[in-house]
A and B are shown apart, each in its own frame.
Chain A
Amino acid sequence: MRGCICSIVPPHLFERFARSGTAEEREAALGTLSIDHSIRTVRVQNAALAAQPTRRAVAAHGERGQPNRTIFDARHVSNRHATAVMRTEGQEPCHDDAANQAYDALGDTYRFYWDVLTRDSINDAALPLLGEVHFGRDYDNAFWDGERMMFGDGDGRLFTGFTSALEVVGHELSHGVTGSTINLLYTGQSGALNESISDVFGCLVKQYRLGQTADQATWLIGEGILGPSMHGAALRSMKTPGTAYDGDSQPANMSQYVTTAEDNGGVHTNSGIPNRAFYLAATAIGGFAWERAGRIWYQVSVNRMVSPDAQFHTYAQATLTAAATLYGATSTEARAVADAWGEVGVLTAGQVPTAAAVAS
């Protein structure tokens, strides 16, 4: 349906789609409308957002809105894709905890993207979700390889595994979403944005699953997977970057941006800056973070509002445009986003577009 809604469609049809279409029609109308900055458009979108029913009702068995998961046993091999199937869609739990955790977490992540953002899997075209557990030997990592989610068991010293933390799975799958939308280059600031977007949506997947508001959430990434050699609560804190564990060096402000050759230019370090900006915006807006702050961030990706080499300030300005388009240039949401990027030192007052400039 998304492809059917293009710029030659009269505005009243957009409005009809946005108000009363199916979930997909509504999302497509919103996506198209979001590149138009007129006041009228904002009014239409606000009406559509206010009228959104839950999208669970849209899905029926075998139709869009249903995940298609397969979990494989990597059997500690790391140089080729595994073929030993442990659990496929709809099967009862198997004997392996990691496999069942991965299966459940992939389902929760799929459910978030469909229910909240009407995105049908990573590519918005029902891509099957494939995961491998027991990847490598003592492997201290989880990653999305472009086709599958890979989960190591951890070495028991630094990490105890990766499948038990829902935000880890949400993070990895969100790398797939970024790869199929704005495809941010994985180095320097664009790489740190790529990381931050995965932390943002990883956290939102968990908050949605737990029904937590922005105030109730921990905003921690990697809770419960640290081994005895790591001292702390998690790997990253979006709320207070640099405090998650002993040795956490994430900055919370642009003035402490880290220039390094490690980790592709510190992509997991400097992500603390945009992470905190999202936390600040979400808590200032209040309520469930996925409803408004998450939707603003997602608009930047799904409407490809930045180029792959985006820097922090260009991404920040895109979130401002998205907020103004969705909720109005003088809205609480737009103000919260502008203030958040100001507080982390990415945008100065002179770089924040005025309400009149955004609305024109």
Chain B
Amino acid sequence: MSAGPRETLHVERSGGFGGLTLRATVPLSELGPDERTAIEECFQHPPSPPSGPDRFVYRFRAHGREALVQEDALPAELQPLVERLSRRWS
């Protein structure tokens, strides 16, 4: 996945016990190569079935493509990313 200076990854987190839908954006240039590769792989895979009750559901969007990823199917490479976002959700 290329990373132009103004290109952005849109991340949405829904579900959880609270059922809150929260959003955050990250410049693609801030992502490490492993994270970019993992996101690219998410775009290429169909969504997995729900993880289980009250788990989060992530949606990633960039370059006009999007991926719906259940929490327990989140690639390990993206775990640090969603932890970084934990105080940036709005």
In the complex, whether B53 has a CB less than 8 A from a CB of chain A is yes
Quick check: which of B9-17, B26-34, B37-45 contacts chain A, the rest being far away? B9-17
Of chain A, the residue at the smallest CB distance from B76 is A79
Chain A residues near B67 (CB-CB < 8 A)? none
Of chain B, the residue at the smallest CB distance from A159 is B18
Would you call B19 and A267 a contact (CB within 8 A)? yes
Known contacts A222-B17, A268-B15; A143 and B50 CB within 8 A of each other: no
Known contacts A137-B83, A155-B87; A175 and B18 CB within 8 A of each other: no
Chain B residues near A162 (CB-CB < 8 A)? 17
Chain B residues near A263 (CB-CB < 8 A)? 14-15, 19, 21, 57
The CA-CA distance from A140 to B18 in the complex, in Å, is: 9
Chain B residues near A143 (CB-CB < 8 A)? 16-17, 52-55
Chain A residues near B59 (CB-CB < 8 A)? 261-262
The CA-CA distance from A162 to B54 in the complex, in Å, is: 13
In the complex, whether A158 has a CB less than 8 A from a CB of chain B is yes
Chain A residues near B15 (CB-CB < 8 A)? 262-264, 267-268
Chain B residues near A138 (CB-CB < 8 A)? 83, 86-87
Q: Indicate which residue in A79, A187, A267 contacts B79 across the interface (CB closer than 8 Å).
A: A79
Of chain A, the residue at the smallest CB distance from B70 is A264
In the complex, whether A257 has a CB less than 8 A from a CB of chain B is no
Would you call B18 and A222 a contact (CB within 8 A)? yes
Would you call A141 and B18 a contact (CB within 8 A)? yes
Of chain B, the residue at the smallest CB distance from A272 is B19
Known contacts A137-B86, A138-B86, A155-B86; A262 and B57 CB within 8 A of each other: yes
Most chain A Cβ neighbours within 10 Å, of B15, B16, B53: B53
Q: Which residues of A contact B (CB under 8 A)?
A: 78-79, 136-146, 155, 157-159, 162, 168, 171-172, 175, 178-179, 186-187, 191, 194-195, 198, 222, 235-236, 247, 261-264, 267-269
Chain B residues near A168 (CB-CB < 8 A)? 17
The CA-CA distance from A261 to B14 in the complex, in Å, is: 10
The CA-CA distance from A158 to B11 in the complex, in Å, is: 18
Of chain B, the residue at the smallest CB distance from A143 is B54
The CA-CA distance from A149 to B86 in the complex, in Å, is: 21
Chain B residues near A136 (CB-CB < 8 A)? 83
Q: Indicate which residue in B21, B53, B83, B86 contacts A186 across the interface (CB closer than 8 Å).
A: B53
Would you call A146 and B52 a contact (CB within 8 A)? yes
Of chain A, the residue at the smallest CB distance from B13 is A140
In the complex, number of A-B residue pairs with CB atoms less than 8 Å apart: 90
Closest chain-B Cβ to A191's Cβ sits at a distance in Å of 7
Would you call A194 and B18 a contact (CB within 8 A)? no
The CA-CA distance from A145 to B72 in the complex, in Å, is: 10
Chain B residues near A142 (CB-CB < 8 A)? 17, 54
The CA-CA distance from A146 to B72 in the complex, in Å, is: 13
Of chain B, the residue at the smallest CB distance from A157 is B87
Closest chain-B Cβ to A174's Cβ sits at a distance in Å of 9
CB-based closest 5 A-B pairs = A268-B19, A262-B14, A143-B54, A175-B53, A263-B14
Would you call A186 and B18 a contact (CB within 8 A)? no
Chain A residues near B56 (CB-CB < 8 A)? 141
Chain A residues near B57 (CB-CB < 8 A)? 262-264
9 contacts between A and B (CB under 8 A): A78-B79, A79-B79, A141-B18, A141-B56, A144-B53, A172-B17, A175-B53, A186-B52, A195-B53
In the complex, whether B69 has a CB less than 8 A from a CB of chain A is no
The CA-CA distance from A278 to B53 in the complex, in Å, is: 20
Closest chain-B Cβ to A171's Cβ sits at a distance in Å of 7
Closest chain-B Cβ to A156's Cβ sits at a distance in Å of 9
Closest chain-A Cβ to B80's Cβ sits at a distance in Å of 10
Closest chain-A Cβ to B45's Cβ sits at a distance in Å of 16
Q: Indicate which residue in B18, B20, B50, B54 contacts A144 across the interface (CB closer than 8 Å).
A: B54
Would you call B79 and A172 a contact (CB within 8 A)? no
Of chain A, the residue at the smallest CB distance from B18 is A235
8 Å CB contacts to A: which residues of B43-90? 50, 52-57, 59, 68, 76, 79, 83, 86-87, 89
